Amino acid sequence: MDSTVLYQGKAKNVHSTENEQELRLEYLDQATALNGKKKDHIIGKGSLNNQITSLIFSYLTEKKIPHHWIKQLSSNEQLVKRVEIIPLEVVLRNIATGSFTKRLGVEEGTKLPFPIIEFYYKDDSLDDPFINEDHIEFLQLASKEEVIELKENALKINQLLQTLFEEIGVTLVDFKLEFGKDYEGQIILSDEITPDTCRLWDKETGESLDKDIYRKDLGEIVPIYEEILTRLKGRGA
């Protein structure tokens, strides 16, 4: 397919298409952690994440969540709406783990009494720092009203994803979302929802079924991501 690479990311490349308002995302066989300091070529990962995120976005379509995903084009490519990405990582936590336990000294695995939302400033040169709503306003990353909208969206998506993962025997521990603005200025869910961007624990065994396997050098991620894909495909079967 003829196109220009507009942006080379850590896990995917963004290509232009013949349609000004649409982009082609190419999912790469690449895993990174520690803001790119740990990096590996992992055959099959791109295709698995493309398929997983495509299934999740089509579920969110059924649930009327506005998002950028249009369709899967091939094993490792998908067509999405062009958006202007809001440079924020919106993290939502249901269970304490990861940087939350380190930062606050909360015991690993504590079930949180309500979903906790955090914001990180998407800036690699600053290592994506944790920021608050005043910082967001000061840096003009989003308005106060938009921050409210981002939080409402994240909470709604959390409920829907919890239900989805519950059905396949998985606990949704935490996840990261990114949002963008479409050509009409509407805020829509963007980027990806995959085991790279969520923490997923098997309900029976408590085993990690996500990128923590890679982050913590616990083993191969391809069989784990295949397991998530197989369970999602078999949902309701």
Residues engaged in binding ligand TMP (CB under 6 A): 91, 98-100, 128, 174-176, 197-199
Query: What's the min distance (Å) between Cβ of 16 and ligand TMP?
Result: 25
Handedness of CA 138, 142, 144, 150 (dihedral sign): negative
Note every long-range contact of 102-107, with CB atoms under 8 Å and residues 24 or more positions apart, other chains counting. 103/130
CB closer to ligand TMP out of 119 and 175:
175
CB closer to ligand TMP out of 24 and 199:
199
Q: Among all residues, whose Cβ is closest to ligand TMP?
A: 98
CB closer to ligand TMP out of 82 and 199:
199
CA distances from 183 to 21, 68, 82, 88 (A): 8, 11, 8, 19
SS3 state of residue 46: helix
CB closer to ligand TMP out of 49 and 54:
49
CB closer to ligand TMP out of 78 and 194:
194
Residues linked to residue 13 through DSSP beta bridges, in sequence order: 8, 26
43 DSSP assignment = T
Query: What's the min distance (Å) between Cβ of 57 and ligand TMP?
Result: 16
Query: What's the min distance (Å) between Cβ of 100 and ligand TMP?
Result: 6
Furthest C-alpha separation in the chain: 51
Query: What's the min distance (Å) between Cβ of 85 and ligand TMP?
Result: 14
